[in-house]
Each structure stands twice: as structure tokens, then as C-alpha cells.
Amino acid sequence: MAKVKQVGLLAAGCQPWNKDVCAASGDRFAYCATLAIYVYQLDQQYNEFKLRSIMSEHKKTITAISWCPDNPDLFASASADNLLIVWNVAEKKAAARLDNTKGVPVSVSWCWNSADGVAFVSQRGPLYIWDYRGSDPGVTVHKEAHSFLSDICLFRWHPAKKGKLVFGHTDGSLSVFQPGSKSQKHVLRPESLEGTDEEDPVSALEWDPLSADYLLVSNLHNGVRLVDSEGLACITSFCFPSAAASVQCLAWVPSAPGMFITGDSQVGVLRVWNVSRSTPLDSFKLKKTGFHALHVLSSPLAKKAQSSCSPSNRQHTSSTSEAVPPPTLSQNRAFSLPPGHAVCCFMDGGVGLYDMGAKKWDFLRDLGHVETIFDCKFKPDDPNLLATASFDGTIKIWDTNTLTAVYTSPGNEGVVYSLSWAPGDLNCIAGATSRNGAFIWDVRKGKIITRFNEHGKNGIFCISWSHKDSKRIATCSGDGFCIIRTIDGKILHKYKHPAAVFGCDWSQNNKDMIATGCEDKNVRVYYLATSSDQPLKVFTGHLAKVFHVRWSPLREGILCSGSDDGTVRIWDYTQDACINVLSGHTAPVRGLMWNTEVPYLLISGSWDYTIRVWDTRDGTCLDTVYDHGADVYGLTCHQSRPFTMASCSRDSTVRLWSLTPLISPLVLNVLTEQPWEKIIGNTDTAMVPGSPPLLCGKVSRDIKQELDKLSGDGGSKKLRWFSECFSSEAQELTIVKMSKFGGGIGAPSKEERLKEAAEIHLRLGQIQRYCELMVELGQWEKALSVAPGVSMKYWKKLMQRRADQLMAEDNDDAIPYCIATGDIKKLVTFFTSRGQLLEALLIVQGACEGNIRSPQSSSINHTTNDVDNRQQYQSLLHNVCKELAEWYFQDGCSVLAACCHLAVDNIQLAMAALIRGNELELAACAGLVLGEAANQSTAYCLELLARKYMSAPTWELSADLLQMIPDNHVLLAKLCAFYPGSVAEINQLHHRCGLPSLEECKTLGEEAASDGDLFSAVKFHLLSSEPEDALRVGIDFVKEQLAASDWTVDSVHPILDLMTYIRTDRLVLTKLTQARSELLILCGYIGGLLAIRRSYCSIVPALYEFTSQLLKRREVSVPLKIEQLSVELEAWRACTQHSSSPPSESQRDEFSCLERRIQPTEPAALVLSGADYVTGSNLPSHSDLHLSCFTGHRIQGPMFLLEDNQSAISLNDALMWAKVNPFSPLGTGLRINPF
């Protein structure tokens, strides 16, 4: 079971160096960071783009991508290591690879004349065509496109004219080729360049989709032209408003003939043009930084359908009939912007999807690193702020709750290798660069306030601000010096090393001690309180250069070092010795991090793309994490959240991890109210090899001190504070429980609308006619301003018509109209249909608090009306919270989903969200704090946790958990039945759980059988020394039930479930082969029915298949037929899965019979229906691709490895499977434990 779980991901930004780095097709778009391609897809249900996958096979800079015009699942990408890959996006894997492209491809494009050909070209040609799917996949050379006189920037095939193609060159010229015509090389240079040697590279090229010969071309300095490739003439030169405007990218708008857009490379201005005019029609400033790439989605995105009923055109118009209004025009009345979405990539790495029709961002990632991230650190006084340092020359600060960048440093520093926050709340960061020395950046002021240049032009690899003495900063550099200076630049020490120094770290216990890692393979320790520049200690042992060093925060005198020899060594300063060597990485080690609470936990990151978690007591590797797609450089966690870790990598992402599973027994010791010594200890006790984890750090000590001060019962506080220490998400639960949702909205006044009515002295009937005429002219404001003269009712109706029209056009201007008329429901529907659930929530909240009221049309008593409205709003609030919770849940944030339910006091759904997200420890803590309302869910949760710990050495913990459940007799019997100890140990556990001894159980079993109490008979036989008797009795009973016609799942499941707890060593005996096969078959079948009851749709087919396979292969006599199973499965599919053909009559009957069987006797059982979805399920992993043995598809999110260590299923499927059938899908008779 993976111990470390991924809980967050900060995607990289788009690289600014190559041309074709964004592409789109259908409802997907992709962009390239330097080493990875990010693919986003529209989530139809919530109308938002979500990161679906990260492709990271390229090991060097990606130079171009191109989406296949005929197959939306394929795109091609090329990189600087002469590699070309065709990707299958749906299957998330490479469909074909070409390893040697004979030069770096600068541009790639699918051939329009053959779907299976990908063309690519490097600097001066020739153009190669790779037929990757043919009978003999090979590379051919284009007959004419070679021997160019100037390098190629990019090329484009003509979308309609077969085989026609154009190249753009760095000297500003074009080359045009088409079959059957003379090829034209190096033509159509901008006029101002003719006869000169000046270069003005072609920055963009696009064929006119409506013409065989016209194309748009832009040169970096000479602007945009429409040229005729046949007549070799320039048709139009487009004029820019200022000489400073320069264009990097342009795109045709497919939905509007003759229209195109350009992106300014200096400032983020998007200009809209038509080929008939030489000046822009309109321009929008979208961002401060310049554009880098543009791509318009060819098909308009299908939004959620808005139901709008337009009145049919009536022949007769009376003075009171409704007019049909024209559509609303945009601000620039000359034209209405075409509907279309532009993928925009900016020079600062920002990426967005801009809706041109609605003039708003559908999606925007404002900033992102576009290159390797070398270092990451949390702000000392704020665990929500994380700073990252990158190869791209910037330091960025991220809010880890929203995963967005909140600050970025001025930039242009070359490479930033390392960063260090100033201690406390000083709000400054020290950075170390490759060529510009070191600097201090004042985050609030947004500027560099100090520079240190003592290392000259040598690269500084590490910078460390002392947290014990805030005036001292250490740097180490390629010049062999480690320099200690004060923040105002006064040098205190210069420690000379025989070679480059890569890492340094201040001791956590002694402010005058610092350790360094050097290229000469040694670790040195210096003592600043002496004037000597010689090290106190030199540790030798590594076989290659030493990079980072880290002092242990909890064990005095212990430090670790990571080296290019692939090992991590632990040194004891007091013994002058290496006390452990941690081997396992297969490449140089970079990231290093000690845990600040558990003294033996050490985490390392390496160039082998993995993160490893070590138990330094005996050197075992507890877990290996494969999710990064490239070298792992930085690892960090915040002292107040010791089990939330951030990592950064050459794949340009930052990932957030929860380390809580590594210490899960600890969480439960808090839960089961164990004595303090099982939770908090000293380092010596915790360091005993093999002993369970203990907390030894500052956070846990502080919590204990606070609890000791409390008089009376601090149980719920203890649970809450420890949950927060273990999981950053628990804080969100607490905050919601304490504050609920805030925020309201002020209603606009209606007096303004009445002023003009007084000025109009027309008869009432004519006012209404006047209003309708104005509506017909599209002059809504004039109509609305006099409508109250007819009546308030008419005004309100007109306002609602206007709102309806704006909503049908998906226009935000509808919002004030709805608020003015108090039409909360319509506004909430508008927001939810657009996926804007947070906005919907604010509106309903405002209404519930009485901040939005509808205008009164008469003066009757309104209090009763208000009460009705308030109740209506309350139920609306519940619905919106439910929708928002589901959105969070589907986004892999089960804890936030629970927060939404708790905010409206829906405790059962909150608990269900936590359990379905497998946040069991947190759910148990929350359940105990919430008390009676959560009792049932808490009991189920404790039962699952007890199952999780039913193995050595945590049996007792399992018993403690079960003893917290009120009605626990049967549960304790299951635990004891499954326990595999010696006779004496088993009897001891029986005694502890209040059960009779083995011998007594045998007698009790026989007595119960003769009394006809089958359940007790099975129970006591299981608890006896001959548990196989239980199978005989139990299986016969279940078979008898199934042979009758009126059985239900609830009549057989309790006994079946009890039998599954037979000890594994007995179940796998040869003499039990038939009983075992029958038990597995019955569990598979009843499990399938339970899965249907709980809506575990993804595993229903697998459970039915499992049962059928066992029936085929094993000698058994059970009243089940393979044919009947497939009939049931097909009926379930036809009646529940949306298919094109409706279910047949017989399928309907079959399914209603199934529904009768699975109807639960207790309604509460349905609270837990709905698929499991653990945190991180939606995060794309780079890890070894495992295909699910249920579906054959690649597993997204965490996976679960079965007992043969080869077959894998997704963790979500494993959890659901274990909840309805505890036996492994491989049919071995072993139980699975994915919890």
C-alpha cells in the first residue's frame, strides 16, 4: 500500500522559447512546458477545464506539438534530443516513437494528404515525412523542400489544397511548394528588407481557410501581411497603432470568415481584425505581459444547454403584446465579436482560454514556472505560502490552498538555484543565482533590496539564512568558498574548500555550527565561534560529490548528506562516524528533508525521478513515490504541519503530499484515547528499531501543554488539534464548523427607476406600448425606466424578460436584473448551469440572511411571505451546498466536500464524503466530535479502520477501535475469528474481547446448531479450534436461501460476511478447496448485488465476471448459472447506463426483480451509496503506467497492487471492492486491505 499520497499539484506554465507550443482539438487543449505537455479537457458537468494528463517522455526541451486534424485523440510532439512521439491522449501513452530525427525538429505538422504521416523539419531542411503506421513505418524526404539558404522558423500544410505547403525563414522570406507547379524559394520578403542582409524572422504563418492561395504572415519587426502565394504579391499590410507593437502569434477565427486575431508580444493586447480593413476592429488588454502563442478552438465549446423559450412571432401586435427584442450588441457597435475560444500563452508562462464572444476568461493560470524548479520552502510564519526558485530566473510564491501564484520576483536573474526565507515574519527571501551573485527580495515592496557579489561571477548553489541568528546568511559556490556574512554585507567568515561547494545547512541546535557538502566527496562541519577557518570535522565515505547536507531537527549532532553516488549517509558528529548508509536511489540524490516530529523519518529526492521515505533506524525504505516526471530537487515541509510535504522537480511542477499514512497508528492512538506515552515520547524511545512511531517535536509538545492547562474533558480539542497537526485539510473542517459561510449582497435601490416615470404624462396603455417599442429597438434601459408607470408588476416582468434574454446570451449583465427583482432561483440556476457554484452559494447565502429581497408590488402584510421565502431559500442553500460538495468531491477534495455539507449542518452527508474519500482517521475524529448525529457513520468508519489494522503488530489497536462502537459483539467476534495466533494468544484475545475460550466456543456452536440458531452456530464455530465447521453450516444455509425465490441480499449477507473472517491459513488448506470456491463465488455474487445497491458502477461488471470465471473453473454445486449472471448484468447495464437503445421488457422485469432483492431493510444503509474517490484521484501521475486488470485502461490516480505483485487496480476500485467483497479479485482466497 502506498504510504505517501499526492494531494495537490501546481502545473508548470507554458514555455516561451519555441513557436508551436500550444494546440487544441474538440474539448481539449494542450501546452508545453519545457519538458512536459499538459493536456486539459472540458468537464461537461461543471463546465470547466481540468488537467487530465501530463505527458513527460521527452528528456530535453520540447520544440513543437501538433494535433492530428482527423483524429482528436492523437497529437505529435518533438524535442531537442532528436525525438518525435505520437501520443494517444485517450490512452495516455505513446503510440509511436521516432528516435533519430537527424537534427532538432523546429516545426512539426500532420500531413493533410495522409492521416498517418507526420512531417518535421530542422534548420535548413530537408522536410522529412514519417509514416508511422504504414506496413513499413519509415521516413521519406520531400522531393523539393531542401537546400534552403536561410533557416526555417516554421511551416504549414494547406488545409484544403493537397500537398501545398509554405515555409517561413529567419531572413523574413517564404518558400512555397505545390505538386505540379514550380517551387518558389525565398520569396515575398517584406519590402523594407529587399536588397539588404537584415534578418526579420517569420513569427507566424497561417493559410486563409477560404482561399487556395492567400495566407497571413507576420514578421517580428515588419508586422502582418496578407499575401498571395500564387501571384507572389502582398495584398494588404495591416497597420498597428504604434511602432512598438510587434506580433509573435496570430490565428484565424473559424466561426467568422475573414476574421483573425493577433497577440502583441510586448504587452498582452489581443487585436481583432478583418482582412477587408487594414486597421484593427477592436483590441483588448488581457494581461500585462506579452503574448507568446495563440490557438483558436475550431468548434465552439458546447456549454450546458440553457432552456430559453423565445416567443413565436405573432401576426397581430396590440398595445400590450410583448415585442421580440434584437440580440444585445457588444460595446463596439460596429460588429459583434465572433463566438470562439482562444488558447492564449504568455511570455511569463501564463496560460488561459479566453471566450471572445463573452469577453471573459474561461480558464486562466496566471503564472507558472516554465523550467526546472530547484528549490521550494514554506514561509516560516505561514504554512499556506510556499516559495519556489527556478531555472527561469524567478522566485514565485504560491498559496497552497488555492494552488495559485500570489507573488513573483522581478526576474532576469539567470538561474535561481536556491532560496531561503528570512526568519519569522520579516517577509524577505534570499536567493542564490548562477551568475548574478545572491540577493535579498523584499516580498511586500516587490523589489530586490540587497545584493551580495563576494563570489564574483561564480554560480552560488546554496543560500541559507540562519534561523537562530537572523543577521547571518551563508552562501556556497563553485569557487570553493562557503561565505558567512551579515545581512548588511559584512563578511564574518570565508571557508575555503578544495573544490566547488554545493550545499550548506545551519545546525538546529547550535547557532554557531554549519555543515557543507563539497565536490571532493566530503562533508565538513565548521564552528563559527572560533577564528579558525579550518573545519572541526571532516566526514569521508561518499564515492562521488556531496550535494545537500541537513542537520536533524530532533537529534543533536546527527546530520545527513546526499551524493552523486546515489546514497544518503547519516553521520553522528559526536561519534565522528557514519552510522548508516541508505541505498536504493539509482541516480544522484538532491532533495533531503528530516521530519520535524518523527525523529527517524528522512525523505530524499533524486535524479532517478523518485522520492524515497527512509526509516533511518535500520535503513529500510518505507515507500518510493514515482509521480514526478523528472529529477526531484527540493523537498520541504512547514514545522506546524509536519506531515504535509512539498516537492519540486525538473518537470516544472510542485506537488503536495500527505505523509500521514506513514504514522497512521499514531492518529488512532489519539482517537482511542491511549495514554500519552503511546503518542508523544522522547527521541531515545522513538529511535528504538521496530518500535511504533512517536511524536517528539515542538508542535506535539505545544499541543500537550495546551491540553494539560485545560480543566475537564479536552477530548474534542485534543482530536481537533492533533488532526490539524496530521493533516492540513483538517483545518478546513474546523474553520467551517466554527464560522459557516459568510458574505452577503446588498440589494440595489429602486428609487432611480421611478424618477423618470413621473415625467411622462402619457396614458397608461400608451406607456406599455412605448415600452414594447423600445424593447423592439433594443433600448431596454428606456423601456425599464418608465415601466413602473404601468405597474410594479409589469416592471418586474420586463426586468425578468431582460434577465432571461441576457442569460440566454450567457451575459453577466443579467445578474443585477435578477437581484433587483429578487429572483434568487433564476440567478442560482444561471450560476450553477455555468458551473459557478461558489457564486451561486453567495447569492443564496445573501438571500437567507435577508440581504436580497424582491420589490413589493402592493402594500399587504409581507411577514408571512418573508418566512415562506426564507424557508425556500434555506432549501435552495442546501441544494447549492450539495452541488458544490459534489463538485469538490469529483475534484478529488473529499474534505472540502465534507466542509460544504457541514456548513449547512448536513452531518450524514459530510461523514459519507469523508468515508467515500477514504479519509477514515479524519472521519472518525470528526464523527466523535460531532456526536450523536454522526453515530452510525462513526461506527462504520471505526469498523473499516479496525479492518485496516487487522494484522501484526496492530491487532490490539483493532480491538480498541471496535470497543468504541456501542453494539460491538459481532464485530469483536469477527476480529477474534480472523486472528492467527497460538492457542494461548487466541484465548487471551478472546478474554480481552469478552468472548468464551476456543473449547467453550466449540460446545456453544454445537448447541446453537441444535437449537436452530444458525447465525450463532456459524459465529461460535468460527471462534473454535475447527472453524471449517462454520463454512459447512453457513454455506449450506446461503445455498438453500438462493435456491428459493424470495430471498434478499439482507437475508444472506450477515452470515456470508461472518464466514469471510475465517482465518486465512485455514481457508487455503487443500481439504477446503470446494468450500473455499463456493464461499468465493457466493461472496462475488452478493458483492455484485451490494455494488449495485451502493452505485459502485465501475466494479459491478468486474464482480460478475469474477463470479462467472470461478463458476467456470471450479468444481462446485451452487444454485447459480453463468447464463443467469450475464442476463442480470445486461439488465443492469440496460436500465442504469445511458445507452442509445431503451431496455427491453424482459430486461426491465429482470432489473425490478434485482431491485427487490437489494432493497435495504434499514434506510440508513443508502447514505453511503456513491462511488469512492480518494484525494488525488484526479491528479495525473507520471508513474509507471499500470493498466487496471478490471478494465484494461490506464489507472488515473493512486493504484492498488494485488497479491501477485503484478495485477493492479485503481485504489478507488479496490476500496469499493473490499467494502462489498473482502476477497481478492484474483480468486486466491486472500483478503485485500486497501483502507
Tens digit of pLDDT for each residue in 575-608?
Answer: 989 999 999 999 999 999 999 999 999 999 999 9
Q: How far apart are CA 282 and CA 295, in angstroms?
A: 18
Which pLDDT band holds residue 116 (cuts at 50, 70, 90)? low
Which pLDDT band holds residue 310 (cuts at 50, 70, 90)? very low
Task: Report residue 255: phi and psi, to 5°.
Answer: -80, -5
Considering the chain, what is the average pLDDT of its residues? 84
Strand order in the sheet with 282-287: 247-252, 259-264, 268-274, 282-287
Which pLDDT band holds residue 397 (cuts at 50, 70, 90)? very high
Q: How far apart are CA 917 and CA 899, in angstroms?
A: 13
Asked whether 1063 and 977 are in contact (CB, 8 A), the reply is yes
* 853-870 as b/e: b if 16+ CB within 10 A: ebeeeeeeeeeeeeeebe
Q: Residue 26: its pLDDT value, please?
A: 84
Asked whether 486 and 492 are in contact (CB, 8 A), the reply is yes
- Going by C-alpha positions, the residue among 436, 541, 558 that lies closest to residue 505 is 558
Q: Please spell the DSSP secondary structure of 193-243, one letter per residue.
A: GTTS-----EEEEEE-TT-SSEEEEEETTTEEEEEETTTTEEEEEPPPSST
SS3 track for 268-287 = EEEEEEECCCCCCCEEEEEE
Q: H-helix or E-strand containing 803?
A: helix 792-808
Asked whether 803 and 826 are in contact (CB, 8 A), the reply is yes
SS3 track for 735-750 = HHHHHCCCCCCCCCCC
Tens digit of pLDDT for each residue in 690-737?
Answer: 888 999 999 999 888 888 887 666 777 777 778 777 776 665 555 444
Decide if pLDDT at 1064 tops 80: yes
Which pLDDT band holds residue 333 (cuts at 50, 70, 90)? very low
Q: How far apart are CA 719 and CA 603, in angstroms?
A: 27
Q: What value does the mean pLDDT take over residues 1223-1232?
A: 93
Give the alpha-carbon dihedral of 1118, 1122, 1125, 1126, to 10 degrees.
180
Which pLDDT band holds residue 1129 (cuts at 50, 70, 90)? very high
If one compares 1201 and 137, the residue with the highest pLDDT of the two is: 1201
- Going by C-alpha positions, the residue among 142, 146, 140, 104 that lies closest to residue 124 is 146
Q: How far apart are CA 102 and CA 125, in angstroms?
A: 10
Q: How far apart are CA 440 and CA 472, in angstroms?
A: 12
Residue 174 in grid coordinates: 517564404
Q: Please spell the DSSP secondary structure of 1099-1127, one letter per residue.
A: GHHHHHHHHHHHHHHS----S--HHHHHH
Task: Report residue 387: phi and psi, to 5°.
Answer: -100, 145
Q: What is the DSSP letter of 777?
A: T
Tens digit of pLDDT for each residue in 897-913?
Answer: 888 888 888 888 999 99
Burial of 900 (0-12, 13-18, 19+ CB in 10 A): buried
Q: Residue 591: its pLDDT value, please?
A: 95
Q: What value does the mean pLDDT take over residues 111-128?
A: 80
Q: Residue 1141: its pLDDT value, please?
A: 80
Tens digit of pLDDT for each residue in 472-530?
Answer: 999 999 999 999 999 989 999 999 999 999 999 999 989 999 999 999 999 999 999 99
Q: Residue 813: its pLDDT value, please?
A: 79
Q: Residue 791: its pLDDT value, please?
A: 75
Decide if pLDDT at 149 tops 60: yes
Q: How far apart are CA 770 and CA 762, in angstroms?
A: 10
Q: How far apart are CA 1140 and CA 1133, in angstroms?
A: 12
Residue 53 in grid coordinates: 494528463
Which pLDDT band holds residue 740 (cuts at 50, 70, 90)? very low
Q: What value does the mean pLDDT take over residues 739-760?
A: 31
What share of the chain in percent tops pLDDT 90?
43
Task: Report residue 121: phi and psi, to 5°.
Answer: -145, 145
Q: Furthest-apart CA pair in the chain: how many Å?
A: 110
Which residues lie closer than 8 Å to 578 by C-beta, 6 or more apart?
539, 541, 569, 570, 571, 572
Which pLDDT band holds residue 161 (cuts at 50, 70, 90)? confident
Q: Residue 1058: its pLDDT value, please?
A: 94
Q: How far apart are CA 682 and CA 675, in angstroms?
A: 15
- The 3-state DSSP class for residue 588 equals coil
Q: Residue 759: its pLDDT value, please?
A: 35
One-letter amino acid at 1025 equals S
Q: Please spell the DSSP secondary structure of 47-109, one letter per residue.
A: TEEEEEEEE---SS-EEEEEE-SS-TTEEEEEETTTEEEEEETTTTEEEEEE---SS--SEEE
- Going by C-alpha positions, the residue among 347, 431, 442 that lies closest to residue 394 is 431
Tens digit of pLDDT for each residue in 342-383?
Answer: 899 998 888 998 888 878 888 888 778 888 899 999 999 999
Residue 722 in grid coordinates: 492533533
One-letter amino acid at 602 equals L
